[in-house]
Amino acid sequence: MKLLTETYAKEIAFSISCFDRLIITGTLPEISYDAGMTNYLYQNGIKIFDYPKFAEPFKESIRANAELIAKEHGAEIEFIRKSGVRKESIISKKIEQRGNHPGIVHIISVMEICNTFKPWHDKDTIGV
């Protein structure tokens, strides 16, 4: 069987090759440390102790989107509450059960250990 690129070689100007999946990680440098987050909140008129209320719509939007994706693809969302769980082994088992074919395999929700933002106030200067 001839490849499409061979069959239509005269009509193809160029071809692009790429990976079949990407894992993107990163940080937002401006808010990835306590003073940066404090500054961001201050510049946007958000009181530090109102951060949970400020972040709630983002959390809910991410959750709703994950639930929609899971429903559309017949996948489940697994909440992992303990540390030391190898996510790769969970996915390997799911692939064994469903077969190795393209598509969403599983969605994992986990609280990762990280530095936390702890707002505080100086009780001696309250009201100053």
Q: What is the extent of the structural domain holding 10?
A: 4-110
Instruction: Check residue 69 and give its pLDDT.
Output: 92
- Total tally of structural domains belonging to the chain: 1
**What is the mean pLDDT of the segment spanning 21-28?**
70
What's residue 8's pLDDT? Answer: 87
In a domain, 99, yes or no: yes
The answer to whether position 15 is within a domain reads yes
Q: Are 105 and 98 in contact (CB under 8 A)?
A: yes
70 part of a folded domain: yes
User: Of 25 and 15, which is predicted with more confidence?
Assistant: 15
18 belongs to a structural domain:
yes
- Does 101 reside within a domain? yes
> Is residue 118 in a domain?
no
Q: What is the share, in percent, of the chain residues with pLDDT greater than 90?
A: 23
Is 29 a member of any domain?
A: yes
Query: Global pTM?
Result: 0.59
What per-residue confidence (pLDDT) applies to 128? 46
Is 122 domain-assigned?
no
